[in-house]
Amino acid sequence: MKISREDVLRVAELAYLDLSEAELETYCAQIDEILEYIGKLNELDTSKVEPMAQVLADDQSADATLREDLTVPCAVGEDVLRHAPDPEPPYFRVPKVIER
Amino acid sequence: MTAKWTIDGIKEALAAKKISARELLADFYKRIEARNPELNAFLALTPERAGRQADRVDALIASGGPLPPLAGVPVAVKDVLSTRGTKTTCGSKILENYIPPYDATAVERLEAAGAVILGKTNCDEFAMGSSNENSAYGPVRNPNAPDRVPGGSSGGSAAVVAAGLAVASLGTDTGGSIRQPGSFCGIPAMMGSYGRVSRYGLIAFASSLDRIGPLATKVRDVAAILQTISGRDPNDSTSTTAPVPDYVAELAKPLKRPRLGIPKEYFAEGMDSGVRQKIEAGVALFRKLGCELVEIRMPHTDYAIAAYYIIATAEASSNLARYDGVRYGLRIPDDSLLAMYRKTRGAGFGPEVKRRIVLGTYVLSAGYYDAYYLKGQKVRALIARDFRAAFTKVDAILTPTSPVPPFHLGERTSDPLQMYLADIYTVTGSLAGVPGISVPCGKIDGQLPVGLQIFGPPFGEARVLQLAHSFEQAGGPDV
* Tens-place pLDDT, residues A23-45: 999 999 999 999 999 999 999 99
pLDDT at position A99, please? 64
pLDDT at position B466, please? 98
Residue among B130, B153, B230, B317 flagged as catalytic = B153
User: Which residues span the domain enclosing A19?
Assistant: 1-45
Is the per-residue pLDDT at A100 higher than 70?
no
Contact B261, B396 (CB under 8 A): yes
Q: Is A97 within a domain?
A: no
Q: Is A30 within a domain?
A: yes
Alpha-carbon gap, residue B208 to B80, rounded angstroms? 17
Is the per-residue pLDDT at B80 higher than 60?
yes
B177 is a catalytic site residue: yes
Average pLDDT over residues B188-206: 98
Q: Is A32 within a domain?
A: yes
3-state secondary structure chain A: CCCCHHHHHHHHHHCCCCCCHHHHHHHHHHHHHHHHHHHHHHHCCCCCCCCCCCCCCHHHCHHHHCCCCCCCCCCCHHHHHHCCCCEECCEECCCCCCCC
Task: Name the closest residue on chain B to residue A20, using Cα atoms.
Answer: B346
Alpha-carbon gap, residue B23 to A98, rounded angstroms? 60
Q: Which of B31-35, B62-66, B120-124, B299-303 has the lowest mean pLDDT?
A: B62-66
ipTM higher than the 0.90 cut? yes
SS3 at position A92: strand
Average pLDDT over residues B284-310: 98
pLDDT at position A55, please? 86
Instruction: Read off the pLDDT of residues B139-166 as tens digits, 9 standing for 90 and up.
Output: 999 999 999 999 999 999 999 999 999 9
Q: Is A2 within a domain?
A: yes
Q: Where are the alpha helices (DSSP H) in B124-216?
A: 155-162, 179-185
Q: Could you tell me which of B58, B122, B40 has the C-alpha nearest to residue B88?
A: B122
SS3 at position B200: coil
Contact A22, A51 (CB under 8 A): no
pLDDT at position A65, please? 62
Give the A window 71-100 contacts with B, CB below 8 Å: 76, 79-80, 83-86, 92, 94-97, 100
What's the first-to-final CA gap in chain A, in angstroms?
A: 36
Q: Could you tell me which of B46, B21, B20 has the C-alpha nearest to residue B32?
A: B46
Pairing type for strands B396-400 and B168-173 reads unpaired
Give the B window 298-327 contacts with A, CB below 8 Å: 300, 302-303, 305-307, 309-310, 317, 321, 324-327
Contact B309, A34 (CB under 8 A): yes
Q: Give residue B433's pLDDT band: very low, low, confident or very high (50, 70, 90).
A: very high
Instruction: Read off the pLDDT of residues B81-126 as tens digits, 9 standing for 90 and up.
Output: 999 999 999 999 999 999 999 999 999 999 999 999 999 999 999 9
- Identify which has the larger pLDDT, A77 or B398: B398
Q: Give residue B1's pLDDT band: very low, low, confident or very high (50, 70, 90).
A: very low
Q: Is A4 within a domain?
A: yes
pLDDT at position A62, please? 53
Average pLDDT over residues B282-300: 98
Question: What strand order describes the sheet that includes B116-121?
Answer: B42-45, B116-121, B74-78, B168-173, B211-216, B189-191, B436-444, B448-455, B396-400, B259-263, B292-296
Average pLDDT over residues B358-378: 96
CA distances from A35 to A30, B281, B420 (A): 9, 37, 13
Instruction: Read off the pLDDT of residues B27-60 as tens digits, 9 standing for 90 and up.
Output: 999 999 999 999 999 999 999 999 999 999 999 9
B153 is a catalytic site residue: yes
Task: Check A51 against B98: CB less than 8 A apart.
Answer: no
Task: Check A30 against B416: CB less than 8 A apart.
Answer: yes
Is the per-residue pLDDT at B371 higher than 70?
yes
pLDDT at position A69, please? 87
Is the per-residue pLDDT at B230 higher than 60?
yes
Alpha-carbon gap, residue B356 to B364, rounded angstroms? 12
Q: Any CB–CB contact under 8 A between A19 and chain B?
A: yes
Is the per-residue pLDDT at B3 higher than 80?
no
pLDDT at position B143, please? 98
Domain ranges for chain B, please list them.
7-251
Q: Which residues of A touch B337 (CB under 8 A)?
A: 94-97, 100
Q: Which amino acid is at A91?
A: Y
Contact B476, B452 (CB under 8 A): yes
State the fold for domain B7-251: Amidase signature (AS) enzymes (3.90.1300)
Is the per-residue pLDDT at A50 higher than 70?
yes
Angle A26-A24-A35 from CA coordinates, rounded to 5°? 65
Q: Which residues of B touch A57 (CB under 8 A)?
A: 458
Neighbouring C-beta atoms of residue A79, cutoff 10 Å: 14
pTM exceeds 0.95, yes or no: yes
Q: Give residue A68's pLDDT band: very low, low, confident or very high (50, 70, 90).
A: confident
Q: Is A9 within a domain?
A: yes
Q: Give residue A57's pLDDT band: very low, low, confident or very high (50, 70, 90).
A: low
pLDDT at position A63, please? 56
With residue B63 as reference, give the H or E element that holds it.
Answer: helix B47-63
Contact B134, B169 (CB under 8 A): no
State the maximum Cα–Cα separation within chain B, in Å, rounded to a whole number: 70
Task: Write the CATH number for A38.
Answer: 1.10.20.60
Is the per-residue pLDDT at A51 higher than 90?
yes
Is the per-residue pLDDT at B246 higher than 60?
yes
Q: Give residue B8's pLDDT band: very low, low, confident or very high (50, 70, 90).
A: very high
* Mean pLDDT, rounded, of chain B: 97
B78 is a catalytic site residue: yes
Q: Is A52 within a domain?
A: no
With a pLDDT cut of 90, the percent of chain B lying above it is: 97
Domains: count for chain A: 1
Is the per-residue pLDDT at A66 higher than 90?
no
